[in-house]
């Protein structure tokens, strides 16, 4: 994301980073936070960045030749990180197998949690939103619909009559002889 030459590619790589975080959150079974992350960051922030980058017409930068000098330091930090990850995985794997074997030998128990059908976080939120809170959900949807229609109406109002607008009927019913024509603004 950081070393991409094209700023649009950089924003697309940022979206990929956001999606990686979402998959990590889903693997941690935090579905609501993952979906909120998708809606807020990928749906709003990244698209906003993409529009800003496309509107500003940022020039493509050249890759700095001194970037190669940072690879040894980055490799050392990466190896230390990889060593720590392997160390944590090995230590947690040994402890969990040791403690589980001791618990199973010492006590004979029934795992009641596995016998209960527990819904996920998203299912619980969906049940609450679409049953007990359905009126508020519908009202918020109507408010957003009215806001969207109001924004469309406000942007399409032609307050200044000297602005040239499209003449759709003339454009669709044109023939090859009158393919290009000049329109003059209406005088007040």
Question: Does residue 161 contact residue 185 with C-beta atoms inside 8 Å?
Answer: yes
Higher pLDDT, 100 or 20: 20
User: For position 139, what pLDDT does the model report?
Assistant: 93
pLDDT of residue 153 exceeding 60: yes
User: For position 122, what pLDDT does the model report?
Assistant: 82
First to last CA, the chain: 54
Question: Does residue 14 contact residue 49 with C-beta atoms inside 8 Å?
Answer: yes
Q: What's the pLDDT band for 100 if we cut at 50, 70, 90?
A: low
Tell me how far apart the alpha carbons of residues 40 and 49 are, in angstroms, rounded to a whole number. Answer: 13
pLDDT of residue 79 exceeding 60: yes
**Residue 20 DSSP symbol:** H
User: For position 76, what pLDDT does the model report?
Assistant: 92
Tell me how far apart the alpha carbons of residues 161 and 76 are, in angstroms, rounded to a whole number. Answer: 66
User: For position 107, what pLDDT does the model report?
Assistant: 60
User: For position 147, what pLDDT does the model report?
Assistant: 83
pLDDT of residue 187 exceeding 80: no
Chain centroid to Cα 18, Å, comes to 6
> Per-residue pLDDT averaged across 33-51, rounded?
82
Question: Does residue 15 contact residue 46 with C-beta atoms inside 8 Å?
Answer: yes
pLDDT of residue 80 exceeding 90: yes
Query: 155-170 pLDDT, tens per residue?
Result: 666 566 666 677 777 7
> Per-residue pLDDT averaged across 12-26, rounded?
89
Tell me how far apart the alpha carbons of residues 166 and 89 are, in angstroms, rounded to a whole number. Answer: 65
Q: What's the pLDDT band for 82 if we cut at 50, 70, 90?
A: very high
pLDDT of residue 177 exceeding 60: yes
Tell me the whole-structure pTM to 2 decimals: 0.45
> Per-residue pLDDT averaged across 137-160, rounded?
79
């Amino acid at each position: 994301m950081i070393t991409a030459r094209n700023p649009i590619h950089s924003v697309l790589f940022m979206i990929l980073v956001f999606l990686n975080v979402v998959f990590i959150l889903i693997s941690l079974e935090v579905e609501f936070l993952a979906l909120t992350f998708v809606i807020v960051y990928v749906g709003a922030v990244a698209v906003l960045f993409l529009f800003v980058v496309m509107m500003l017409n940022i020039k493509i930068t050249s890759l700095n030749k001194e970037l190669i000098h940072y690879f040894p330091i980055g490799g050392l930090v990466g190896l230390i990180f990889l060593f720590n990850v392997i160390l944590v995985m090995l230590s947690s794997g040994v402890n969990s197998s040791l403690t589980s074997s001791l618990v199973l030998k010492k006590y004979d128990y029934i795992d009641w949690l596995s016998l209960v059908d527990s819904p996920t976080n998203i299912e619980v939120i969906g049940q609450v939103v679409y049953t007990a809170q359905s009126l508020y959900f519908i009202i918020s949807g109507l408010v957003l619909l009215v806001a969207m229609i109001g924004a469309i109406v406000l942007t399409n109002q032609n307050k200044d009559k000297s602005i040239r607008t499209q003449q759709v009927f003339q454009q669709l019913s044109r023939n090859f002889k009158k393919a290009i024509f000049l329109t003059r603004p209406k005088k007040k």
